[in-house]
Amino acid sequence: MPPGTDVVAQQNFLIPNATFFVELAIFMIVLGVIWFFVVPPIRKVLEEREKRVNETAVTAKEASEIFAEAEARYNKALEKARAEAAEIRNQARAEGRAILDELRGEAQQEADQIVAETTAHLRADADQVAAELRESVEPLAHDLADRMLGKNGRTRTSAGHQRGQGSS
């Protein structure tokens, strides 16, 4: 065996030497520094973040509950407003129909009155025209009858005219 291999063979790798303990001490110091100076601010930030997330979740839950209540109130108010609008529409239609019926009745009364007045006026005019025709036709009829019978038309005609004028 070569002489260098004896030294290597004499050292057992399972038995720690001074280098191991120095490295272990440095590792422990670095771990302590990280543990006391780096980890607490990170923990603090993470805890604050978790707290904010929880607060946000609670706030979001409250907001969703408030929104649901507000939406329910809105829907109820909307239904109520629609019902009131329908009622107002129905009342307006009923009032419109009543006004229309009233106006139709008034118009019918006016039309009936105008027809009655016109009928009375036309009857009066017809009676007057008939009377005038009788007065003008009666002497002519007598004159024509006298001519047919051969009587003197002048004496009868003047008498007929006198009768017609006297009766007016």
Average pLDDT over every residue of 108-112: 93
Identify whether 123 is part of a domain: no
**Residue 101 resides in a domain:** yes
Residue 72 lies in a domain: yes
The pLDDT value recorded for residue 73 is 96
The set of residues, in sequence order, having a beta carbon less than 8 Å from that of 116 and lying 6+ positions away, is none
C-alpha to C-alpha distances, 22 to 16, 18, 19, 27, 145, nearest whole angstrom? 11, 6, 5, 9, 172
What ranges make up the beta strands (E) of 12-105? Answer: none
How many domains, the chain?
1
Q: Which tens digits make up the pLDDT trace of 86-106?
A: 999 999 999 999 999 999 999
In angstroms, what CA-CA distances link 77 with 87, 88, 130?
15, 16, 77
The residues, ordered by sequence, that sit 6+ positions from 17 with a Cβ below 8 Å of its Cβ are 11
**Which residues, including other chains, have CB under 8 Å from residue 107's CB and lie 6 or more apart?**
none
The reported pLDDT for the residue numbered 87 is 95
> Which pLDDT score, from 0 to 100, does residue 78 have?
95
Q: Is residue 136 part of a domain?
A: no
Q: Is residue 147 part of a domain?
A: no
Does residue 55 fall inside a structural domain? yes
Q: Report the alpha-carbon distance of residue 1 to residue 13 in Å, rounded.
A: 20
Mean pLDDT over the full length of the chain: 86
Tokens of 93: 């239609």
- Of 63, 69, 95, 7, nearest in space to 103 by CA: 95
Nearest-CA neighbor of 167 among 130, 134, 127, 128? 134
pLDDT tens per residue across span 119-128: 999 999 999 9
Q: Is residue 80 a part of any domain in this protein?
A: yes
Range of the domain at 46: 19-117
pLDDT in tens, 36-74: 999 999 999 999 999 999 999 999 999 999 999 999 999
Share of the chain above pLDDT 90, in %: 64
In a domain, 86, yes or no: yes
Threshold 0.85, pTM exceeds? no
